[in-house]
Structure 1
Amino acid sequence: MCGNNMSVPLLAEAVTVSGTERETAVVIFLHGLGDNGHGWADSMSSIRLPYVKYICPHAPRIPVTLNMRMMMPSWFDLMGLSPESPEDEAGIKKAADNIKAIIEHEVKNGIPANRIVLGGFSQGGALSLYTALTSQHKLAGVVALSCWLPLHKSFPQACSSSASQSVAVLQCHGEMDPMIPVQIGAMTSEKLKSFLNPQRLSFKTYPGMMHSSCPEEMAAVKEFIERQLPRV
């Protein structure tokens, strides 16, 4: 890790899967509540492209209201999982700023923003959507797995215009998800279609899949990353 990572707190600790040849693109992938970056770094390794660097940061440990204020890795506080639950607006914005700092760091190190895909699972997917849509940079795409759009009522106003016109989004959801029902994924997809280019959006559901991932989903993720980050 280079010394200048220290100004980007999440980067110093992040799990990084380096490319096996010259890195011309980056995927930043955010884990779900109570998890860490290691599992998703393994998943990314299984679908890796040789010219892509994968960065899987760990969320800070904070008390989570939904889980009786227990301390656990969480990108922001969660009060509930229904679309009408109150939301931790300050925490979501702060978390997005921390992810934007990683994006800035990669851009300064020579990877253009349009060669960066941001993704995540569950709470991490929610944060990746919010971050990409409010970023000043036009990213290559967003991978949003089993998740929702935080602060959904603030969109499209919260969008930075360049991102909102053209970002490609792959949304995937398990049809048997007991934690974040597939209906929430579908509502999120409809919301995104109302202000993004529908041609650039894809919503895939997987029969029998719960709040997890499956090989078919990972194949779709790999295909999306390959399409948005072709070899240069």
Structure 2
Amino acid sequence: MCGNNMSAPLPAIVPAARKATAAVIFLHGLGDTGHGWAEAFAGIRIPHVKYICPHAPTMPVTLNMRMNMPSWFDIYGLSANANEDEAGIKRASENIKALIDQEVKNGIPSHRIILGGFSQGGALSLYTALTTQQKLAGVVALSCWLPLHKSFPQAAANSANKDMHVLQCHGDADPLVPYAFGIQTAEKMKALISPANITFKSYRGLPHSACPEEMVDVKRFIEKQLPPISDE
């Protein structure tokens, strides 16, 4: 994915319609690829923003009877007290930080990059934003949770993103990542970063998926956090 993980193909990319002065890095959910999300962002694209949707490496996932599938890290269970793949989460987070570094080398400063994801990808985006020294424009966290939440606020205290803006979205009919997890994650985030910068949106009747209304909210958040630069 980032030069140190050859098992994943190159990310799906929606290039900016003009010179890219900002970027969104968005991580898909378990068993998925970046292609569907690249299509979704192509439908709400903003001219100066580049969208990068990487693909997770394929690995055996304990939750799914050790079947091989695209996964950012192993998942042992979906209950609130399930053990977590700490080493895998930290390794995946380092890969995402390397991806951010690559965009910085490409000329987009980190404070003009939004990190986001859906489900497992959203969980990884929250964890990465709270543990990186790269100052980000914000995080879009869809239908997800905060992994390794017991390791905070120690990690967050050293984070460059204590004042970042977060858009958290969750369907109230989610059978996989319960709506209550979303609420609890938002409350935990408010204890870690400026509470005024956290927006939690719920969607009535939405299961573990995205919907058009949600994507409009995502677009508005991106427009607000990544406005055009005055000389564009």
TM (norm. structure 2) is 0.95
| 1:97 equivalenced with 2:94 (yes/no) | yes
1:2-54 Cα deviation digits (max 9, x unpaired): xxx74675896110110110100010000000000000000011111011110
Match of 1:53, SS state, is strand
- Give 2:76's aligned residue: 79
Greater share of helix: 1
Alignment map for 1:1-232 (pairs within 5 Å): 6=3, 13-159=10-156, 161-232=158-229
- Report the 3-state secondary structure (helix = DSSP H, G, I; strand = E; otherwise coil) of the residue aligned with 2:146: coil
Contact 1:114–1:140 under 8 Å retained in 2: yes
Gap runs ≥5 in structure 1: none
TM-score, normalising length: structure 1 = 0.95
Tell me the distance in 2 between the aligned counterparts of 1:10 and 1:66.
Answer: 21
Whether the 8 Å contact between 2:131 and 2:159 is mirrored in structure 1 is no
Letter in 2 for 1:17: V
Any idea what SS the aligned residue of 1:27 has? Answer: strand
In structure 2, C-alpha distance between the alignment counterparts of 1:61 and 1:225, rounded to whole Å: 30
CA deviations over 1:90-123 (Å, ceiling 9, x no partner) = 0000000000000001112211111000000000
* Cα distance in 1 for residues equivalent to 2:67 and 2:118: 21
The Cα of 1:161 is off from its aligned counterpart by: 2.9
Contact (CA 8 Å) 1:8, 1:101: kept in 2 or not? no
Is 2:8–2:57's contact at 8 Å kept on the other side of the alignment?
no
Note if contact 1:11-1:102 (Cα within 8 Å) is conserved in structure 2.
no
- In the alignment, the residues of structure 2 paired with residue 178 and residue 142 of structure 1 have an alpha-carbon distance, to the nearest angstrom, of 23
Aligned pair in 2 of structure 1 residues 219, 120: CA closer, same or farther (>3 Å)?
Answer: same
| One-letter amino acid matched to 2:17 | T
Q: Is contact 2:8-2:58 (8 Å) kept?
A: no
Q: Distance in 2 between matches of 1:56 and 1:165?
A: 25
C-alpha separation between the residues in 2 aligned to 1:9 and 1:197? 38
Given the superposition, is the C-alpha separation of residues 212 and 75 from structure 1 closer, same or farther in structure 2, using an over 3 Å criterion? same
Q: What is the aligned length? A: 228
CA RMSD of aligned residues (A): 1.5
Q: In the TM superposition, what is the alpha-carbon distance from 1:162 to its structure 2 partner?
A: 4.3
Cα distance in structure 2, aligned partners of 1:10 and 1:23: 28
SS in 2 for 1:186: helix
The 2-side partners of 1:90 and 1:98 are apart by: 13
